[in-house]
Amino acid sequence: MKMIAFSVRDDEEPFFREWSTKNNIQVDLIKDPLTDETMDKINGHDAVLALQTGEYPKSLFNKAQSLGIKVFSIRNVGVDNVDLKEASANNIAVTNVPAYSPTAIAEFSVTLLLQLLRKIDNFRKRSEQQDFRWEGNVGQEIHDKTIGVIGTGRIGKAAISIYRGFGAKIVAYDPYPDSKLAAEGIYVDSKEELYQKADIITLHMPASLKDKHMIDAQAISEMKDGVYLINTARGLLIDTAALIDGLKSGKVAGAGLDTYENESPLFNHDLRGKEIKDPLFNELRELENVIVTPHVAFYTDTAVKNMVRLSLNSAKSVIETGTADSIVNAE
């Protein structure tokens, strides 16, 4: 049995090597992403492991099937950039890591909000200029706010637990409600109702093409004046141009964004000294009431370890038994 992993970071390598030694299975580590140019490297392997926000090659699964690949295992949750139908058509199982650390992402989403509410970035910029005045940066407190949580899976529930610790009121929307939360009466019947009630809206849902630009100009117009938006889910959920308009008008008081709809050429790349030719992203970053981070909400030691080990275990299970609990393209 042989496996190959793409987009392997330095912090992942020890966990890959530890698992490889423990299981006596060869795992070849490739730092480059899986692209048309690197795809030939999968030859001679039984499983492919990958992690990238950008698109995978269109011919990936046809090529993989011809080379005897049995499983394509991604080291993250979201499968919106994976052609599951094509994988199934080529008899290749696709697995994900559905819960590497929900707490990591939930904690980070609250971290973004706290920085916005307490104007941390403004104070930091002033301090760098040795300006230590308070004026103009009065903060707000979470405990008297209504938090609107869209998506109540593992991450959404972890966020709800944290916000309750602050004493905030919770309203939630999910087309597939959690029975325990439903019994507590926190769900509203529609996203529109949540928009009208929430002071802060935090997104914890997967993404599909039907959800593209779910948060658009119309949605923003239905929200409270001075709403805060937090997105640690997927960039395509928010129409960035509409968000910028809302931020400039004051309709949206602030946004904490760990993901961006056109992030693939930007995030996890060293662009120091280079011109960023994305006017929308550049305009977004110039706004004082926005915090942008490069899709790192998941990035803790616990999460990295779990993402590597669970993806490897799933791939091993598929090869040995033909199935795994985390297969996402099962009939």
Q: How crowded is the C-beta side of 90, counted as CA atoms within 13 Å?
A: 21
Q: To 5 degrees, how large is the angle CA 256–CA 247–CA 258?
A: 20
- DSSP labels, 135-182: TT-----STTSEEEEE--SHHHHHHHHHHHHHT-EEEEE-SS--HHHH
Report how far residue 90's alpha carbon sits from residue 105's, in angstroms, rounded to the nearest whole number.
33
Buried b (16+ CB within 10 A) or exposed e, 285-303: eebebbbbbebebbbbeeb
Report angle CA 116, 122, 126 to the nearest 5 degrees.
Answer: 165
Instruction: Please state at what angle helix 102-117 crosses helix 120-128, rounded to 10 degrees.
Output: 60
**Position 127: which residue type?**
S
CA distance 22 to 135: 58
Give dist(CA 230, CA 110) in Å, integer: 8
Distance from C-alpha of 331 to C-alpha of 10, rounded to nearest angstrom:
36
Specify whether the CB–CB gap between 49 and 5 falls below 8 A.
yes
| Active site members | 234, 263, 295
Q: Which residues pair with 94 in a beta bridge?
A: 72
Sheet of strand 26-29, all strands in order from the earlier edge strand to the far edge: 26-29, 2-5, 47-50, 71-74, 93-95
